[in-house]
Structure 1
Amino acid sequence: MESQLSTQMLISPMLIIVLILSVHTFAQEDMQFIYNGFQGSINKLHVDGITTIHSNGLLQMTNHSQQLSSHAFYPHPVIFKPSRLSFSTTFVFAMVPQVHNISGHGIVFVISPTTNFQHTLPSQYLGLFNNSTNGRSSNHIVALELDTVQNLEFKDIDSNHVGIDVNSLKSVDAASAAYYSDKERSNKILLLNSGKPMQIWIDYDEVEMLLNVTLAPFRDPKPSKCLLSKHLNLSALLLDTMYIGFSSSTGSEAASNHYILGWSWNQTGKAQNLDPDKLPPLPQNKQQKLLFRNIVFVVLLIVVILALLGIAAALWFLWRKKYRELLEPWEKEYAPHRYTFKDLYVATKGFKNSELLGVGNFGKVYKGILPSTSRQVAVKLVSHDSKRGMKEFVEEISSMTRLRHRNLVQLLSYCRRKGELILVYEYMPNGSLDKILYGKDNKSKLSWSTRFNIIKGVASALLYLHEEWEQVLLHRDVKASNILLDAEMNARLGDFGLARLYDHNNDPRTTYVVGTVGYIAPEVTRTQQPTTSTDVFSFGMFLLEVGCGKRPIGKQSDNDDEDFFLGDWVYDCWKRGEILTASDPTMEDDYQEKKLELVLKLGLLCLHPKAKERPTMRQIVQFFNGSTTLPEIPSDYDIDSCIFFEEG
């Protein structure tokens, strides 16, 4: 009995030692792998969320679903100990947007201590963190983001960048997506959401503690110069065993199909090259094929009907005379940007008053549902301004349909009929800001955080119009009634009826004053020459409007006979050292004093009578982001010289 017991006691430790050695040997064998496509890998990868693997081996991370996450990880942990921290990896990816050049967030390569991401959020959190875990040092996560949505919360540099993330989505280093062409010896821009496959290489040198990231179009050789190079001490960031893989997510609006075509990993040297001929192809756009077939069918059907019906068809067109549009020969090149009058007539139920959303200085706006797509839109009827050529006006409309910014109301299309223009915009379910700001029953929706988010959104939109788009676009009518609110109460700058386009480094051509009383910069009536500074002046009045809850001009109260000028009043409060007394009393204590003071003081700076003394929109955005300190209001500032003019 004692002999048997001794034998069992000897065997048990030996079994433990064997198991430990087996695990260690298994980890060593897993130091490199390669997937030229993921055929048969459904049991060789750890996947969750909306991740799918196609029969041809294509790994699809996201689809057109909204607000969902996806993950795909190598199923076995990888050892990261001293002398085993170096690694080399490469993968081929593609981002195919649902709408051209509009994406739904991005793809992230992740080194994580876990594959359990059930408490994370989609959208801007990319399925990695949530609002409480983002930024925690206990995350032990190192990631590389391929981001196609600029998020100011995380200080993204733009909407098309590659970033190195450590425990947070605020990148420790980032660069706009590009690659170095050895043939041309210059950097070339890459559009991540172009729908085209691209390859990325990530290499870490443990000795130099250097992480290099290189990007290139698919099938191009690896460039000699990397896109990012960052010193990181991974031994202080990673645990002994980690998981490697990918994370992605969709947002609440435009979505994208994110794909991984192949992946290679090595911890003992350079990652094996992927075989381009073995990687799975991207799926064809079935919707386009179906649309083409439908178009061919419709065209053939129309030809047959015209041939058979003849005179009956002509009579039918005469009967539908009320749908007739005006389309001149020069306008045919802009036909893709047009909706038919018939569709807009049906969408608005014949422009009935029951569908009327509002009446402004430049026309009526109706709610509509397009019969072809069931999409909700806002349809605006505008009388054509005879002082401008119709061709020039249509050219500008065509240009503005290319505007793409999350804080702009998207101009979708237009239609022309006789002397009337019909503009079609996105529909904003929460209407205009002024109706909530001045409505007695709606102010409860405007907490301080909502107001500040609206202000930052409008500032971002104006910066895009002034500096970041292909041309300079002056809005010339920034005010609360032209700020629309989407379903999530995000600001959308709209109503471009007075806007002017011109090339960078040129001046706009105009010979008359337009705008709204209280928002027009004083120099405009003298020079009749609007500039970006005139938009800044209007934005300054808008800041005071939102912060104080009062219109720029009018009466202080129903019993007050004296004219009230909001700029004068806030300026007087500032001179007394009591600028916060100008704030909207309906906010009560629901505001941050420093931010509210920033908004009111910045409003006064934007109203400076001298255009050159006003900040630019870029500086304004920097003030809001905290990257630049707001200067003091100058002592020679004289608000009384800000004379307001009526609309021209």
Structure 2
Amino acid sequence: MFSRLLVTLSFFLVKVIAAHEDLSFTYNGFSSANLSLDGVAEFTPNGLLRLTDIDTQRKGHAFYSNPVTFKNSMNTAAAIFSFSTTFVFAIRSEYPTLSGHGIAFVISPTRGLPGASPNHYLGLFNENNNGNENNHVVAVELDTIKSIDQFDDINNNHVGIDINGLKSEKVYTAGYYNDKNGEFKNLTLVSGKSMKVWVEYDGKKKQMNVTLAPSNIGKPRTPLLSLTRDLSSVVNNTMYVGFSASTGSVPTSHYILAQELVLSQLPKLPRMGDKKDRSLILTVGLTLICVIIISLAISGIIYLIKRKRKFEELVEDWEVDYGPQRYKYKDLYIATKGFRDQQLLGAGGFGRVYKGILPTSNIEIAVKRVSQDSEQGMREFVSEIVCMRRLRHRNLVPLLGYCRRKGELILVYDYMSNGSLDKYLFDQPKTTLNWSQRLRIIKGVASGLLYLHEEWEQVVIHRDVKASNVLLDREFNGRLGDFGLSRLCDHGRDPKTTHVVGTRGYLAPELTRTGKATARTDVFAFGAFLLEVACGRRPTEIGRPSMEDMILVDHVYSCWKKGAVFAASDPNLGSDFVAEEVELVMKLGLMCSQAEPSVRPSMRQVVRYLEGDIPLPNLMSLRLCSGGLTFASAEGFDDVAMSYPSSLDQTVPYASSSVA
């Protein structure tokens, strides 16, 4: 799987046309060629020129020994002659996805380019002189490494025209244009296939063209690169021409073959190298391959262990029967793009909620990660969550299922595209709802609570009814969501709850005394919700800058006592509302907010009041008092979890404030 990295150049033909003379040199093998070598460059017995061997961090140069005349005059501004060169190269990589640092055809004022560095400098320049106009170097690079920071390389497979530095004047992906249809075809420099390069400079047009193609086809009519540039200030009167190659961290061998007059006469590329190469492979290469294989095996094992731990779930025997109601953590991880912050919908004391798309069905979901401090009661909790998955009502957000992993419970809900109701009510909302929309949402939530309390097979106590847990679907229908705090019990019994959970402003006074949630505590929270929607204010606004402390139910009660209940309504309603309906909602909110649980209406009565089936009783007969409408203090209850809604909880859907 690891083939040897071999860079091979063949057919080196340079022809310089001076006034009334042709100067050219060709080679039928390099055993007796008039070449000057430096670095690790050497000849092989079969006529190959090896620019570098398998040592790393090395360079090699091969230059024609005699200088070539490019001008008739020593004047730096004099025009240079037209010239051209053609060569064939091939790259064979020991590591299919890795490569050396490439090769270059060079026109230089000196042989050997003293002081040049290997690696990404290609044996042409170093960090001090790269880009210096005094270099007087022109090169065509065939680069297989992407160096963005230093040279702005476009990729790791490109051809470039360089002048005095490795930040190419012109650069393009390696390939050629088909003469028949003009289609561009990519060539991979490290493919191991031989390719031919034509470098031509027209002294009259001041234009350099570089063309690349497979070695078995003719020269394409359209060049790969074309640069219009007067090189007279760069090229001296006489210059040296040759090749440069360098290695980096990957062992690399660079070879030059003979002139390609007849392809069958070219020296054969060594399959695995000569005797010296084979010896090196046996002594060094085999050891390197063994080390790499062992390292890859260890890395693979570590990766599999980490991946298994990353997606490890907690599954106990009692959960097997839940079947499709349980989601795989891996699927939820992929759906939420790794629970990235960009997918975050909301956060609160109870957990964080992310938007996701299930990879198998493309269904949009909301995924809530619930932290659990204790495993106590987890079996009962999960059992209730699974039971709630069977809830079916148009005004409830469907709970699709769950997942358990490393001390956290992950709940999966249907995604509601218009988010939570609270962002349309508070803090100068960008979009406000008219009264007709608000009343439809109120009736929908009331219908959903009635279903939970009386119409399902068991009683479901939601325990966290509030505007931020009412989600709006595409048609702005209200759906009660977030069943993470909900509890089940049989009809005629109260759920076994011992901790106070929920959000301050929605908690019934008796919760701080008994810790027991009932349908009546949900009604109390629904009363706060009614006043939220009608007044456009939160149940509690205490200690907020530029705002007086206020408890909403007391404020509405005060306005009602003064005979001016409409003074408490949301000013964003404008004048387009039915006064009787607004008054009904606010009075019903006061009825539900009574301190004594037994005098609060049931959700069935609430629905009938809202639908106009029965008239609202006279509030004066209900013995309402301001003191009975305030919220009980939490002092002395260390296990009470209450907090003001966070700023995120107020603006983002699927958020909950706190949990016991």
Q: TM-score, normalised by structure 2?
A: 0.49
Give per-residue Cα distances to partners, 1:115-165, cap 9 Å, x unaligned.
xxxxxxxxxxxxxxxxxxxxxxxxxxxxxxxxxxxxxxxxxxxxxxxxxxx
Hey, what's the Cα distance between the residues in 2 that align with 1:452 and 1:498? Answer: 26
Name the counterpart of 1:119: none
Give per-residue Cα distances to partners, 1:378-418, cap 9 Å, x unaligned.
00000125274111111011101000001111000111101
Hey, what's the Cα distance between the residues in 1 that align with 2:453 and 2:633? Answer: 24
CA shift, 1:538, in A, is 0.3
Contact 2:344 2:354 in 1 (8 A): yes
Letter in 1 for 2:357: I
Contact 1:517 1:644 in 2 (8 A): no
Which of 499, 514, 522 aligns to 2:509? It is 522
Contact 1:541 1:552 in 2 (8 A): yes
CA shift, 1:527, in A, is 1.9
Name the counterpart of 1:70: none
Hey, what's the Cα distance between the residues in 2 that align with 1:437 and 1:514? Answer: 24
Name the counterpart of 1:378: 366
Contact 2:512 2:632 in 1 (8 A): no
Letter in 2 for 1:377: I
Is there any run of 5+ residues in structure 2 with no aligned partner, and where? 1-297, 635-639, 642-660
Hey, what's the Cα distance between the residues in 1 that align with 2:532 and 2:324? Answer: 39
Q: Counterparts of 1:247-326 in structure 2 under 5 Å?
A: 318-321=305-308, 322-326=310-314
Hey, what's the Cα distance between the residues in 2 that align with 1:399 and 1:327? Answer: 18
Does residue 626 (structure 1) correspond to residue 616 (structure 2)? The answer is no
Does residue 464 (structure 1) correspond to residue 451 (structure 2)? The answer is yes
Does residue 504 (structure 1) correspond to residue 491 (structure 2)? The answer is yes
Hey, what's the Cα distance between the residues in 2 that align with 1:501 and 1:314? Answer: 45
Hey, what's the Cα distance between the residues in 2 that align with 1:542 and 1:501? Answer: 22
Which of 323, 327, 341 aligns to 2:329? It is 341
Letter in 2 for 1:407: N
Hey, what's the Cα distance between the residues in 1 that align with 2:399 and 2:633? Answer: 29
Is there any run of 5+ residues in structure 1 with no aligned partner, and where? 1-310
Contact 1:443 1:586 in 2 (8 A): no
Which of 571, 577, 590 aligns to 2:576? It is 590
Hey, what's the Cα distance between the residues in 2 that align with 1:513 and 1:539? Answer: 17
Which of 527, 534, 541 aligns to 2:521? It is 534
CA shift, 1:558, in A, is 4.2
Hey, what's the Cα distance between the residues in 2 that align with 1:501 and 1:387? Answer: 19
CA shift, 1:439, in A, is 4.4
Aligned partner of residue 620 in structure 2, secondary structure: coil
Contact 1:381 1:420 in 2 (8 A): yes
Which of 561, 568, 580 aligns to 2:566? It is 580
Give per-residue Cα distances to partners, 1:455-487, cap 9 Å, x unaligned.
001000000000000100001111011111111
Identity percentage of aligned residues: 57
Hey, what's the Cα distance between the residues in 2 that align with 1:492 and 1:385? Answer: 29
Letter in 2 for 1:458: V
Contact 2:375 2:407 in 1 (8 A): no
Give per-residue Cα distances to partners, 1:187-238, cap 9 Å, x unaligned.
xxxxxxxxxxxxxxxxxxxxxxxxxxxxxxxxxxxxxxxxxxxxxxxxxxxx
- CA-based RMSD: 2.0
Hey, what's the Cα distance between the residues in 2 that align with 1:559 and 1:439? Answer: 13
Change (3 A) 1:645 1:412: farther
Give per-residue Cα distances to partners, 1:596-626, cap 9 Å, x unaligned.
0000000000011111110000000001111
Contact 2:458 2:490 in 1 (8 A): yes
Aligned partner of residue 584 in structure 2, secondary structure: helix
Letter in 2 for 1:347: A
Does residue 513 (structure 1) correspond to residue 513 (structure 2)? The answer is no
Aligned partner of residue 496 in structure 1, secondary structure: coil
Hey, what's the Cα distance between the residues in 1 that align with 2:299 and 2:341? Answer: 34
Change (3 A) 1:363 1:630: same
CA shift, 1:330, in A, is 1.7
Which of 407, 410, 417 aligns to 2:398? It is 410
Name the counterpart of 1:352: 340
Q: TM-score, normalised by structure 1?
A: 0.50
Which of 455, 462, 467 aligns to 1:480? It is 467
Hey, what's the Cα distance between the residues in 2 that align with 1:630 and 1:385? Answer: 45
CA shift, 1:571, in A, is 0.1
Hey, what's the Cα distance between the residues in 2 that align with 1:600 and 1:499? Answer: 26
Hey, what's the Cα distance between the residues in 2 that align with 1:419 and 1:387? Answer: 7
Hey, what's the Cα distance between the residues in 2 that align with 1:403 and 1:645? Answer: 35
Which of 324, 330, 336 aligns to 2:318? It is 330
Hey, what's the Cα distance between the residues in 2 that align with 1:327 and 1:600? Answer: 48
Contact 2:355 2:367 in 1 (8 A): yes
Which of 532, 541, 551 aligns to 1:554? It is 541
